[in-house]
Amino acid sequence: MSVHSLLTQRPGPMLAFVPEPDAVRLAQCLVALANSAGGTIVLGADENGTVYDDVGDEVEPVIGRALQMLQPPLRVSDLPEVLTEETPRGRVTTVVVRPASYQLSVEGREVYVRVGATNLRLTPEQVAGAAAVREPREFEDEVVPGATLADLDDDVIDEYQRNRLRRGPRGEALTHTELLRESGAVDAAGRVTHAGLLLFGRQPHQFLPQVGVVVVRFRGTSMHETVAANERYARRVEVVGPAARLVERTWEVLFEEIAREPVVQGLQRRESYAYPLEAVREAVVNAICHRDYRVLGQRIEIRLFDDHMEIMSPGGLPGHITLDNILDEHYSRNPRLVRGLYYWGYIEELGQGVDIIYEAMRREHHPPPEFRDTGRALTVTLSSAVDDIELQYGEQFNPRQVRALRWLATREQITNRDYQQLCPDVTSETLRLDLRDLVEKGILLKIGAKRGTYYVRK
């Protein structure tokens, strides 16, 4: 939401105003929102829309002091998003707070929650009760009230057994009861768990309405175009069922919608698709596997536009995963579901899904995927556009050199310093050799000498 819109609203459960540079009050708001549903704090303005422009220079240190007051310290993945914007009324800073999975306090003494437009301080008894409620539990292992073994699909269980024999660690056959217990479908008392419904449920959405995928095809390249054309959507499909069926049926719908055209290479005729199929499949599987099933009232949404698709998974990034370490770290929010889909052959338990998406997009010369985490949802955007630079030079030069040529596609020249900023983790000598190679192969022309050197397309 824009700052202009925020300044026209009243404070509420997810919106607070801190007009003065007050670290204590800011810390209270941070704790209250994080202990509740999250929200936005407007710094330097009050609820009447008055902007205190002289607060601007003090915002950064005040935010730093407020964060230091929080106990326990916020995890990296839970740090708020801070944005400062110049408005006609003056400078305003917004702090977007994520809901925390653990209880926060101000300096270990004061615990707040957001009630209406107020930061409510909890009594010691309330603190103890709230901590017990927020104690993390494994969602998959929780028993589903009212569910019985009759709500599990024997055909799906048998299919799981066959796949487990093929891909399992030892390939041994289990009895029906042993299989349900080993997969986590039932607890020690034989009661059906969330994992059981997610893996084998006949109609899991009857107990968990948030389970499912909605695929919507829009005309145009954005929601703005769709609204302007007074057209809601061209097609809408709802997919329900256990996890393996969600993967299969969602893929069938997307395969119908992904544009393709014949391409002739020599005597061979093949079809070229608007998106790398491997990237689409992995993105769908990742969304089904790693979404937060505790988030109610929201299913996985896949939005198809003329030039891109968006795959939205409720719950944001899991555990310690951030946008910065998403390619290097792995974490399973739903390990039983991951293992089940691994047996089905839809996922690698090593957590290679994101790497596969990146590699598939690169291999077929598309821009890299874009990931956006709001804390409440993770959205992966895949573009159908083809990167002409990658297509022309990707096989001939290394990725760093392609990045330099992509830079020159929109600029007249590139310097050694520009190249170092594009590739900050590479030594200057390696980058110098990269540029020399491009010159020797007739792609670039070197102009000037020493510090005045720059390169242009030949």
Show the beta-strand stretches assigned E in 52-89. 70-71, 81-87
Mean pLDDT, residues 48-58 taken together: 73
182 and 115 within one domain = no
What is the tens place of the pLDDT at every residue in 167-225? 766 666 788 898 999 899 999 899 999 999 999 999 999 999 999 999 999 988 887 77
Residue for token pair 């804390």? 375
Distance between CA 29 and CA 80 in Å, rounded? 12
CATH number of the domain bearing residue 344: 3.30.565.60
What is the tens place of the pLDDT at every residue in 328-341? 777 778 888 988 99
Residue 422's pLDDT band, with cuts at 50, 70 and 90, is confident
Which of 134, 156, 186 is at the close of a domain?
Answer: 134
**Does position 230 have pLDDT exceeding 50, yes or no?**
yes
Mean pLDDT, residues 415-420 taken together: 90
443 and 409 within one domain = yes
Q: What is the pLDDT of residue 136?
A: 45
Domain that holds residue 300: 243-383
Distance between CA 431 and CA 399 in Å, rounded? 12
254 and 362 within one domain = yes
Q: Among 59-63, 66-70, 284-288, 321-325, which is the least confidently predicted range?
A: 321-325
187 and 129 within one domain = no
62 and 179 within one domain = no
The pTM of this model reads 0.60
Helix, strand and coil percent figures for the chain, each rounded to 5? 40, 20, 40
Q: Decide if 43 contacts 60 (C-beta within 8 A).
A: no
For residue 73, give both structure tokens.
């310290």
170 and 93 within one domain = no
Domain total for the chain?
A: 4
341 and 254 within one domain = yes
105 and 147 within one domain = no
68 and 31 within one domain = yes
Alpha helices per DSSP H over 143-276: 154-167, 176-183, 194-200, 223-228, 243-257
Residues listed for the chain: 458
